[in-house]
Amino acid sequence: MDTKAVQCYRTFFPESQGGLEQVVLEIARGGGGEVLTLSDRGASSGEYSGVRYRTARRWFSVASCCVGPGLFLEVLKNSSGVLHFHFPWPFGDLVYAVAGRSRPLVITYHSDIVRQRWLGSLYRPLMHWFLRRADRIVATSANYVESSDVLRAYRDKVEVIPLGIAEGLYPSLERSCVESVKAKYGTDFMLFVGVLRYYKGLEFLIRAAAGRPYPIVIAGKGPEEERLRELASQLGAKNVHFTGFVDDDEKMALMQLCRAVVLPSHLRSEAFGVTLIEGLMSSKPLVSCELGTGTSYVNVHGQTGFVVQPASPKSLRQALDRLWESPDLAERMGRAGRLRYEALFTGERMVRAYIDLYCRVLRERGLGV
């Protein structure tokens, strides 16, 4: 039996750009497996950053749940020893139920279902069947295990593996790229990087930023972009800049040039925050909100940055003001953040933990290793 795991998630590079896509890439690359996913471009195969992927056509999406029946066949054809699904993705549960053939199953539980509660009630029986079938459920932080009613019900099979990113996967910065980004946005701005989704709390960041002396750079695209641009215009927040999509070179140039990285997410859908790890890696202080999730495990209040009240422009403004007014404090917190990244959140550390887990699951199933 192949000890490699296949990663199953609803989206992947190069079609989409986000923290979970980065995590799936890191695990697949380190573990030598491939990625099965959906794409608006239809059935295809290819390679991204050294990782093989196969796509089935995405037919439609309902409440962020992507559906593409071709994925049933892709899972059936795959010969990996372990199927690794990333939750929540209700269609993924169904794919395993139909095509998983009782193969070893690892689920990384990234988030509770927060907003789609009426759909959640219909989905609950399938969800619990799926979680019961799992050999292991991986939570990304102990904080999330303690604060999730769902995870507490499966505590006997839950393990904690924090997310991590490999610095070597990021591009070396070219001076020309840094100078280009600097010409557009300057330096010492407060930086958000990510997909512009409803739970990211960006409306509160924009309200906090209105009238402040420092720039805010919002890097990324997503379904909330038009609404957020309109809000910034209504508030006269001319210091808020939207970059749209940025590639890895531009993103790392922004990280180098910023004063701090801010993740204003206000709902539990934000279970960890890969952009926070990128901030630690880049020696930048962080500003995040207390959600009872992994964000407050990554960002230690008063040490690597500030953890503030969610959905509160005033609290965000106070934290950003402190980092703007005290560059020495920002630098000290950035150095502490870099040390925390090296100790806890490297991609190598995460991948080793997953490979060990896959091997243990296969041995418990009597499949060797």
Average pLDDT over residues 143-164: 94
Q: Is the pLDDT of residue 3 over 70?
A: no
C-alpha separations of 26 from 65, 170, 233 in Å: 23, 11, 38
Domain of 355, CATH number, reads: 3.40.50.2000
pLDDT of residue 205: 98
142 lies in a domain? yes
CA distance 33 to 80: 8
263 shares its domain with 326: yes
Residue 137 has pLDDT above 60, yes or no: yes
CB atoms within 10 A of CB 102: 8
Residue in 300, 64, 67 with CA at minimum distance from that of residue 199: 64
One domain, residues 161 and 202: no
Q: How far apart are CA 282 and CA 162, in angstroms?
A: 18
Tell whether 208 and 271 lie within a shared domain. yes
Render pLDDT for 84-98 as a digit per residue (tens, 0 to 9).
999 999 999 999 999
With bands split at pLDDT 50, 70 and 90, how would you rate the model's confidence at 318?
very high
**In this predicted model, what pLDDT tens digit does every residue of 141-152 receive, in sequence order?**
999 999 899 999
Domain that holds residue 360: 2-166+346-364
Phi-psi region of 306 (alpha: psi -120 to 50; beta: other; left: phi over 0): beta
The pLDDT value recorded for residue 269 is: 87
Across 231-262, b (16+ Cβ under 10 Å) vs e yields bbeeeebebbbbbeebeebbbbbbbbbbbbbb
One-letter amino acid of 342 = E
Answer yes or no: are the C-beta atoms of 281 and 342 closer than 8 Å: no
Which of 22, 26, 1, 83 lies closest to 353 in space, CA to CA? 26
- C-alpha angle 314-315-316 in degrees, rounded to nearest 5: 90
For the chain, how many residues are written?
A: 369
64-79: average pLDDT: 92
Q: What tens digit of pLDDT does each residue of 94-136 get? A: 999 999 989 999 999 998 886 655 566 788 999 999 999 999 9
Its pTM stands at: 0.88
Residue 321 pLDDT greater than 80, yes or no: yes
Cα separation, 353 vs 5, whole angstroms = 13
Q: How far is CA 162 from the centre of its chain?
A: 11
The helix (H) or strand (E) run that includes residue 220 is none
At 12-42, the pLDDT tens digits run 988 887 788 989 999 999 888 899 999 999 9
pLDDT for residue 157 is more than 60? yes
Domain assignment present for residue 47? The answer is yes
Q: Phi and psi for 33 in degrees, rounded to 5?
A: -95, -175
Q: Are residues 242 and 104 in the same domain?
A: no
Check whether 369 has a pLDDT greater than 80.
Answer: no
How do residues 42-67 score in pLDDT, each as one tens digit?
Answer: 999 999 989 999 999 999 988 778 99
Q: What's the total number of domains in the chain? A: 2
* pLDDT tens-digit map of 270-313: 988 999 999 999 999 999 999 999 999 999 999 999 999 999 99
The verdict on residue 93 lying in a domain is yes
Query: Would you say residue 2 has pLDDT above 60?
Result: no
Per the CB < 8 A criterion, the answer to whether 222 and 247 are in contact is no
Residue 355 within any structural domain of the chain? yes
Q: Do 97 and 125 fall within a single domain?
A: yes
Domain annotation covers residue 369:
no
The confidence score (pLDDT) of residue 306 equals: 98
**183 and 162 belong to one structural domain:** no
Same domain, 157 and 268: no
Q: DSSP letter string over 124-171? A: HHHHHHHHHH-SEEEES-HHHHHH-HHHHHTGGGEEE----B-GGGSP
Report pLDDT digits (tens) over 188-235.
999 999 989 999 999 999 999 999 999 999 999 999 999 999 999 999
Q: Is residue 242 part of a domain?
A: yes
Between CA 287 and CA 306 the distance in angstroms is 5
Q: Are residues 159 and 13 in the same domain?
A: yes
Percent helix, strand, coil in the chain, to 5, is 45, 20, 35
